[in-house]
Amino acid sequence: MSKRIIWTSAVVAVAFFGMSLYAIAGEGMKGAMPDPYIPKEKVMKMKEMMMKMKPDTFEASLMRGDKMFNNPKLGKNETGQSCATCHSGGGSVGGAAEMNWKGMKMLVAIPTLKGAAVNFPAIRGPMKRIADLGDMNNMCIMTFMKGLPLNKNMRPAVDLQNYVASLSKGKRYKPGGKKVVPTPVPGAM
């Protein structure tokens, strides 16, 4: 496989999920490869801000995440759907959702989220890329809810990840595990 194809694939993956720390830091291209580190001035500002932050609690984060999970405007989407539309109570309403990818329509089985977080990071999606829980939350927001992705380094994304992870309470960590679809749908990935 040529370096150009590998580089293009990597760029597409980062652009699709829009999640690299590099992009969040707001740095431009520096030569052929982007600098993955945040400039010292920004680090100092972040340290200063962190020293002034009030403590948060796990429970408060769960409550904010639960609100987001049930918010039909999450990601500024206009579909009227929330995460709970397909994952009522964290489970699955069953069936499959339609997704467009590279001009093709495909069915994606709606998995349960109970116990799902313990499987991440895992290879997911038609691009077969390694995704973490935040990537999966954003994929659903963008693909099925037609909304904007959450910045994974900001509190709202962390709160939503915290809530979804709480649905796996008591499950054993098993990175790379398969998604659990209570009732398989023929032809759905």
Yes or no: say if 91 and 112 are a contact pair by the CB < 8 Å rule. Answer: yes
Kindly tell me the number of DSSP H helices and DSSP E strands found in the chain: 7, 4
Report whether CATH 3.30.1490.100 matches the domain 59-166: no
pLDDT digit string (tens) for 12-67?
444 444 444 444 444 444 455 667 788 999 999 999 998 998 888 999 999 999 99
Q: Is the pTM of this model over 0.75?
A: no
The predicted pLDDT at position 8 comes to: 42
For residue 161, pLDDT beyond 70: yes
Dist CA 42 CA 21 (whole Å): 13
- Of 128 and 1, more confident: 128
Give the three-state DSSP class for 46.
helix
Distance CA 106, CA 189 (A): 8
More confident residue, 112 or 101: 112
Averaged pLDDT, 112-134 = 87
Q: What does the mean pLDDT of the chain come to?
A: 81
C-alpha 148/C-alpha 170 separation (Å) is 31
Mind listing the pLDDT tens digit for each residue in 90-99?
999 988 888 8
Average pLDDT over residues 182-186: 74
Residue 107's SS3 state is: strand
Structure tokens given for 125: 């999606």
Q: Would you list the domain boundaries of the chain? A: 3-52, 59-166
Higher-pLDDT residue of 114, 31: 114
